[in-house]
Amino acid sequence: MVEYANEENGPYTILDFLPVTTTSYQHTDLIPRTKFFYRVRPYYGAASPPSSAVATADSVTLTWNDKSTDEEGFIVEIKAEGAPDFTMAAMVDPNVTTYELSVRPEEGKGTYRIRPYVFGASTNIANQTTGSA
């Protein structure tokens, strides 16, 4: 997971969840003459078995059993029909067991899974100041 902040001590905002094989990331559309701080944090948690669903009225309601005891929350993942892999669609708080996910037309028929997560330690913090516009 890649995060950024405008102060070294945060607060940090999640930019993206990336596959393990990713070794670089580009943060685009930045504010000129602004300092940005970045860190990468691993997250751990086994995904549930995939479950297919068809959305009705632009949403799908997902329900699951919370069998974890120490999660920091859950990640709702979606694999749209024909997509090569799952992507993160939403993050929900710990102990939540249902979520209504708004979907785009191309995601209406897809496969979903739920992943309880726990964050690992972050990397060293990198920083960069953007130039003028």
- Classify 126 as helix, strand or coil: strand
pLDDT for 103: 81
Q: Grade residue 127 by pLDDT with cuts at 50, 70 and 90.
A: very high
Taking the domain 2-129, which CATH number applies? 2.60.40
Region 32-53: mean pLDDT is 90
pTM of the model: 0.76
46 contacts 76 by C-beta, under 8 angstroms: no
Query: pLDDT, tens digit, for every residue of 69-126?
Result: 889 999 999 888 888 888 888 999 999 999 998 887 777 778 899 999 999 999 999 9
Task: Please state, in angstroms and rounded to a whole number, the distance separating the CA atoms of residues 120 and 23.
Answer: 18
The bridge status of strand 109-119 relative to strand 73-80 is: antiparallel
Strand partners of residue 43: 119
| Domain extent listing, the chain | 2-129
